[in-house]
Amino acid sequence: MAAIQDRMEFLFLYETKDCNPNGDPLDENRPRTDPETGVATVTDVRIKRTVRDYLYQVKELEILVRDTEDGEGYLKDAKGRCDDFSDAAGVTKDDTITSMVSKVRSTILEKCIDARLFGSTLPVEFGKKKSSIKLTGPVQISGFNRSLHRVSPQVIQGTAAFAAKKGMTQKSFREDHLLPYALIASYGVVNEVAARTTGLSEEDVDLLLEGLWRGTESLISRSKMGHQPLFLMRVRYKDGHRIGDLAGRLSLQSEKEDTEIRSLDDYRVDVTKLFDALENSKDRVEAIDLMQDDRLIFQDGEREGIFESLAQRRGCAVHPLNLG
């Protein structure tokens, strides 16, 4: 399939209730927060993992960056994962290192949708021949995706399922770190120039958006139960244009203190600056596609409503985003 031709941006809003959106393994897995502003943060790695897991587990597509084991039950490193594709690529000892890299690279891009989306760096080795594959991902997501309000992390103590060790007469205690509520805004760019290198197609981008929405719906593990997608917008541009920082053009309006917010009923999302930017770029915008949970209410000046109705008042044509 042909690589995409247009630059795109996407904005994704989702809520989390009584869960841990993104634990920090270096801080006892506490929810990540910005110590200066008090907002919750979610890394691009966490969001990409949501997409990857959905595409692999639900759509049954091959994923490059996933846990695989060797014959002895140990996790493979990057070289071992690269070796998985060498046989399929037809690599032989007679290949030059340049030929080897070319074959493996082409095979990975053909088979692995996440390589076409997010890129990757892998070592390539065959005997004494060594090199690497470096792919710049056309899809780039903000390194830290922030909540639109300050949050108040909590520690919940409870009884564990088992005793801490043999010989104990009582079960041990456990601690759960969670956020009572957070509205997270994630922003990303799809670069049509880098897409020429990985062969990112329109179908791949559609699967990315499906993975964002459906994958977030599928986060139903104990630490992630409480995730709900609320809004997803894709803006397609002409001539390599982009507005930039779509998430930074949003703000939360609430009569409650930020840390007291617990549901969609407690706030409105102000999109005035976002609509201003879209209007200013209307000659460079090819299309705006969106999906929304109608419970989420937006605010544009004095007007309130779902995004589509506010967009119509602004003269911005929007189209439904059809997900698989």
Chain center to CA of 4? 20
Residue 63's pLDDT is what?
A: 96
In a domain, 275, yes or no: yes
Residue 172 has pLDDT above 80, yes or no: no
Q: Are residues 150 and 211 in the same domain?
A: yes
Mean pLDDT of the region 99-109: 93
Q: pLDDT value at position 174? A: 66
Q: Do 252 and 106 reside in the same domain of the chain?
A: no
The Cα 116–Cα 64 span in angstroms is: 10
pLDDT over threshold 90, residue 212: yes
Q: Cβ(145)–Cβ(184) under 8 Å?
A: yes
Mean pLDDT over 301-312 rounds to 97
Nearest to 285 by CA among 252, 256, 308, 319: 319
Is the pLDDT at 9 greater than 70? The verdict is yes
Beta strand 139-141 with 173-190 is antiparallel
Domain boundary among 136, 170, 202: 136
- Kindly state whether residues 117 and 212 are assigned to the same domain: no
Which residues neighbour 137 within 8 Å (Cβ) at sequence distance 6 or greater?
117, 118, 119, 120, 194, 198
Within a domain: residue 72? no
* Residues 231, 111 within the same domain: no
Sign for the CA dihedral angle at 99, 105, 109, 111 comes to: positive
* 242 assigned to some structural domain: yes
What's the CA gap between 227 and 219, in Å, rounded?
Answer: 6
41, 241 Cβ separation under 8 angstroms: no
Whether 162 has a pLDDT exceeding 60, the answer reads: no
Distance CA 193, CA 240 (A): 9
Give the count of domains, the chain: 2
Is 69 inside any structural domain? no
Last residue of some domain: 88, 110, 136? 136
Is 3 within the bounds of a domain? no
Segment 215-243, tens digit of pLDDT:
999 998 877 889 999 999 999 999 999 99
Report how far apart the first and last C-alpha atoms of the chain are (Å, whole number): 19
Percent of the chain with pLDDT over 90: 75
State whether 194 and 273 are in the same domain.
Answer: yes
Query: Does residue 165 sit in the same domain as residue 225?
Result: yes
* Beta carbons of 124 and 131 less than 8 angstroms apart: yes
- pLDDT value of position 74: 85
Asked, for residue 296, whether it belongs to a domain, the answer is yes
258 and 118 inside one domain: no
Model-wide pTM > 0.95: no
User: What is the model's pLDDT at position 167?
Assistant: 60
User: Crossing angle, helix 307-314 and helix 272-280, to 10 degrees?
Assistant: 40
Q: Are residues 205 and 283 in the same domain?
A: yes
User: String of b and e for 87-126 (b: at least 16 CB within 10 Å)?
Assistant: eebebeeebeeeebbebbbebbbebbbbbbbbbbebebeb
Q: Are residues 177 and 277 in the same domain?
A: yes
Are 194 and 51 found together in one domain? yes
Within 8 A by CB and 6+ apart from 169, the residues are 163
Q: Is residue 2 part of a domain?
A: no
Tokens 């997900």 sit at which residue?
Answer: 323
User: Are 234 and 249 members of one domain?
Assistant: yes
Position 65 in a domain:
no
* pLDDT at residue 146, rounded to an integer: 98
Same domain, 100 and 158: no
* Residue 109 CA from chain centroid, whole number: 20
Residue 179: give the domain boundaries: 8-60+139-320
Domain boundary among 95, 114, 136: 136
